[in-house]
Amino acid sequence: MIKKVLPKDSPILKRSCATVVNFEKIKPVIQDIIDTIEYSKTIHKFTRGIGLAAPQIGESLKISVVENTHGQRYTLINPEIIEKSKTRKPIREGCISFLEYRALVPRYDYVKIQATDENGKSFTLEGFDDFAMLLQHEIDHLNGILYFDHLPNGEKDLFII
C-alpha cells in the first residue's frame, strides 16, 4: 500500500528504530515501502538511486529498501556499516521527506554493510560514491539521524532547489 512519506519534523524520524526479530510480521511493511518507492518514482525523477526507510512511513523498525542507479533493489533489515573508506568527501544529498532541500554532506565514498534480507538471510553489500551515500543515508534514518545532522549548522546549511 502506498503510504504518506512523513516530513522532516516528524518525531519518529529523530528516534532510533527497533531491531527486527520477527521476519514474518514485517513483510507488509516491506511491501508498503516498495509500493511507496514505486509511486514516488512516478512523480519525481531520481537520477542517483532511491531509498526509503520504515520510519519515513511511520514504522519504527530497522528496515530500509534501496535501489541503485541500475534499478537493482535491496531490502536492508538491521543494516550496519562494517567497513568504510578512511576519508569522507562532500556529496550533494537530498531526502524524500523534504525533497525541496539539498546540502553538501560529508560522506564516506566507500562502505560495506551487513544486513539481513526479507527471508532472514544475512548478506553483505558494498557501495561506492552515490550508492555509498545512499546506504549511509538510509542507515542514518534507522538511527534517528537526518542528513543535516552531519552539517556544522544543521538545518541552517540546507539550500532550496
| Cα dihedral across residues 76, 34, 96, 26: positive or negative | negative
Q: Which residues contact 20 (CB under 8 A, 6 or more apart)?
A: 26, 61, 62, 63, 77, 78, 116
Residue 118 carries which DSSP code? T
CA distance 61 to 78: 8
Q: Which residues contact 157 (CB under 8 A, 6 or more apart)?
A: 103, 148, 151
What is the CA 80 to chain-centroid distance, rounded?
12
Q: Which residue has the cell 552531519?
A: 150
Confirm whether 118 is a catalytic residue: no
151 phi/psi in degrees, rounded to 5: -95, 150
Catalytically annotated residue among 59, 67, 93, 138: 138
Residue 82 carries which DSSP code? E
Any idea which residues carry the catalytic annotation? 138
